[in-house]
Chain A
Amino acid sequence: MIDLETKATIDYTYNVPAKRRWKKAKIKGAVPLYFILMVYFIVVAYPLFWMIMNSFKTTDEIFSNSWAMPEKWLFSNYSHAWETGISGYFVNSLVVTVSTCLGTVFISALGAYGLTRFSFKGKNALLILCMGGMMLSPQVSLVPLYKLIQALGIHDTYLAMILPYVAYRIPITILLIRAAFLEVPKEIEESAVLDGCSSWAVFTKIFLPLNYPILLTGVILTAYFTWNEFMFALIFVDSESLKTIPAGLMQFRDALQTNWGVLLAGLMISAAPVILLFLFMQKYFIRGLAAGSVKG
């Protein structure tokens, strides 16, 4: 696995004398690189900065002076947004995200354990089924899933989101955890079995605690997916009171057509949790994305 932070510090110590020799040429060569970085930085950061600034303004001020800092910082926009519906969506998102994360990682860990510690008929077929599952886009299954959710009687409940989310996150999570489980030395397991441990005890007492970093990576990636998922949340749930943030924001926008400051404050509240999760857990995040991208 690649740890970006530590690697970045090691990478560049290799050719100190050569560097001195080329110093002048290098500074010259750096100008266009820094120029590209700065331009793209402005493109990415400015709209985000604009959102933060204007989330503290009145609608009139956004209209008359959207480029300036707020004249008066209206923190009340945030409480207004929270009370206008964001709080409900927030709680729904929290419930759905936590359940999806626990379900996905637990079921995937069970499956990864089955795939790595036993030999049985159909093992390779199952592995291929997992990899194939990663390639299938949920869009393609929209109509049958809608029918299925009706048939199961879970339309317009939390489960209508949680169950499909878990199912679609299992393939990638199982492959992630399987890779870590394969690294666990056979000796540890063998001595535990000699001591009389059942396979279930080996799983809960050895495999899960030993691999908690990869389980955490699985939780973070699932949380990121679930918190931001839009299409299922839009279609499988009708009740306003059950909507998660991405789907709820559509309603929120319609309710606040004229009150832009509050709308922007609502957007800020919705984006904050995942941004914070990313900033504090960058290492796990990137490790997972990198591992997950290597399909097949």
Chain B
Amino acid sequence: MPIRKLVPYLYLAPCIVMMGLFVYYPIVENFRFSFYDFSAFSPDKAFVGFTNFSNLFQDPVFYTALKNNVWYAVISIVCQVFGGLILAAILEDPITRFISSFFRTVFFLPVVISVTVIALLFTFVYEPNMGILNSFLHGLGLDSWTREWLGDSETAIFAVIAVSQWQSIGYIMMLFIVAIQAIPKEIYEAAEMDGAGKIRRFLSVTVPQVKEMFFVASLITLTGAFTVFNEPYILTGGGPGNASEVLGTLLYNSAFAKDQMGYASAIATVILVLTLLVSLVQMKLFRTGKDD
């Protein structure tokens, strides 16, 4: 009966409509938009071919933003993926079992707090006169190290990146904890019988066993690093000058401050291509790792 055949599609229709309209259609549209010049409130669009892209690739701010995104990616991999793995391994070590659930909860807390709250809290941490960081350095007698962290074009982007690390290490740590708990305990016992020390057990048992999660975690952090928007927008707005601009804030400013919607779409296309490239490289690396 034809009605019976329709039934599964009826159950799926709401999902298909929602995802099609708000997730997939905009991606296609964005690609098309990047070849047009138009503004937010006018229906007219002018086809400009690759002009948006060639303008973008001649814009020095684009390269500043790209450089900052690359810094974001490198520092996030080191702090979140490697740092998160080390914290997870420590918390899953039998020797910390008395208090590991307490630390686990505290380390995860920043993950659940809204990024706006955290960014505003860190404007106090970085505040030049009475902020936590400068007071701390002052207390240690390191007055020459104190500075206006967010207002100094040399430190602004790193101050912003640090906030993201502070918030997200706990998340990646939790993913690794889940992965480590799935490792059969016999492997650790055998390694211990063979006289392997803590570091040796970490390198020869834990690391190879959590390889899959390592792949997932680096994919999450790298994609996050190239699409980041909230922290730079709230903490510095891309400033001072354009020193802490990232692709996300550049996109936002082009679209909603300068009303260059086509140009903004071109930036979005570049972000999409970058994240896809990252995913492809990751998958390739992971596959080759699997064959060994």
B250 → chain A, closest Cβ, in Å? 11
B117 at the interface (CB under 8 A from A): yes
B46 → chain A, closest Cβ, in Å? 16
Complex partner residue of B11 from A29, A113, A145, A227, CB under 8 angstroms = A113
Complex partner residue of A114 from B11, B108, B230, B261, CB under 8 angstroms = B11
Residue from the set B19, B115, B227 with the largest chain A CB neighbour count within 10 Å: B19
**In whole angstroms, what is the CA distance A275 to B62 when docked?**
37
B175 touches A289 (CB 8 A): yes
B90 touches A110 (CB 8 A): no
Cβ contacts under 8 Å, B145 to chain A: none
B100 at the interface (CB under 8 A from A): yes
Complex partner residue of A137 from B113, B132, B177, B271, CB under 8 angstroms = B271
- Complex interface residues of chain A between 237 and 296 (CB less than 8 A to chain B): 245-247, 249-250, 253, 260, 263-264, 267, 270-271, 274-275, 277-279, 282, 285-286, 289-290, 293-295
B23 touches A30 (CB 8 A): no
**In whole angstroms, what is the CA distance A260 to B124 when docked?**
9
A46 touches B132 (CB 8 A): yes
A20 at the interface (CB under 8 A from B): no
Cβ contacts under 8 Å, B268 to chain A: 139-143
A191 at the interface (CB under 8 A from B): no
B93 touches A118 (CB 8 A): no
Interface string of B135-162 (1 = CB under 8 A from A): 1000000000000000000000000000
A124 at the interface (CB under 8 A from B): no
B90 touches A33 (CB 8 A): yes
A50 at the interface (CB under 8 A from B): yes
Cβ contacts under 8 Å, A263 to chain B: 120
A136 at the interface (CB under 8 A from B): yes
B116 touches A245 (CB 8 A): yes
A271 → chain B, closest Cβ, in Å? 5
A33 touches B95 (CB 8 A): yes
B55 at the interface (CB under 8 A from A): no
A51 → chain B, closest Cβ, in Å? 5
B114 touches A274 (CB 8 A): yes
Cβ contacts under 8 Å, A203 to chain B: 11
Name B18's closest neighbour in chain A (CB-CB): A167
A275 touches B12 (CB 8 A): no
A129 touches B24 (CB 8 A): yes
B14 touches A111 (CB 8 A): yes
A46 → chain B, closest Cβ, in Å? 7
A82 at the interface (CB under 8 A from B): no
B8 at the interface (CB under 8 A from A): yes
When A and B form their complex, what is the total count of cross-chain residue pairs whose Cβ atoms lie within 8 Å?
269
**With A8-B97, A47-B125, A148-B26: A111-B12 Cβ-Cβ less than 8 Å:** yes
Complex partner residue of B107 from A5, A30, A44, A129, CB under 8 angstroms = A44
**In whole angstroms, what is the CA distance A150 to B229 when docked?**
22
Complex partner residue of A47 from B22, B23, B132, CB under 8 angstroms = B132
A2 touches B114 (CB 8 A): no
Which candidate, A60-68, A70-78, A182-190, A208-216, is the interface stretch facing chain B? A60-68
Complex partner residue of B121 from A2, A141, A145, A267, CB under 8 angstroms = A267
Complex partner residue of A230 from B41, B107, B230, CB under 8 angstroms = B230
- Complex interface residues of chain B between 84 and 105 (CB less than 8 A to chain A): 86-87, 90-97, 100-101, 103-105
**In whole angstroms, what is the CA distance A296 to B269 when docked?**
23
| Interface SS, A side | helix
**In whole angstroms, what is the CA distance A11 to B188 when docked?**
11
**With A8-B97, A120-B5, A278-B112: A141-B178 Cβ-Cβ less than 8 Å:** no
**In whole angstroms, what is the CA distance A44 to B83 when docked?**
14
Name B95's closest neighbour in chain A (CB-CB): A30
A144 touches B30 (CB 8 A): yes
Which candidate, B70-78, B203-211, B216-224, is the interface stretch facing chain A? B216-224
B108 touches A278 (CB 8 A): yes
B122 at the interface (CB under 8 A from A): yes
Cβ contacts under 8 Å, B90 to chain A: 33, 36-37
Cβ contacts under 8 Å, B129 to chain A: 63
Known A-B contacts: A115-B12, A271-B113. Give 14 more (CB < 8 A).
Answer: A37-B87, A47-B122, A48-B109, A63-B129, A66-B132, A118-B11, A126-B16, A133-B23, A142-B268, A148-B25, A171-B23, A246-B117, A264-B121, A278-B112
Q: Which residues of A contact B (CB under 8 A)?
A: 2, 4-5, 7-8, 11-12, 14-15, 18-19, 26, 29-30, 33-34, 36-37, 40-41, 43-48, 50-51, 54, 62-63, 66-67, 107-108, 110-111, 113-115, 117-118, 120, 126, 129-130, 133, 135-137, 139-148, 150, 163-164, 166-168, 170-171, 174, 199, 203, 224, 227-228, 230-231, 235, 245-247, 249-250, 253, 260, 263-264, 267, 270-271, 274-275, 277-279, 282, 285-286, 289-290, 293-295
28 residue pairs bridging A and B, Cβ less than 8 Å apart: A4-B178, A11-B94, A11-B181, A26-B95, A30-B95, A33-B90, A44-B110, A44-B170, A47-B132, A133-B19, A137-B223, A139-B227, A140-B227, A140-B268, A141-B30, A145-B26, A166-B18, A170-B19, A171-B19, A230-B114, A230-B116, A231-B229, A249-B120, A250-B234, A264-B124, A286-B178, A293-B216, A293-B220
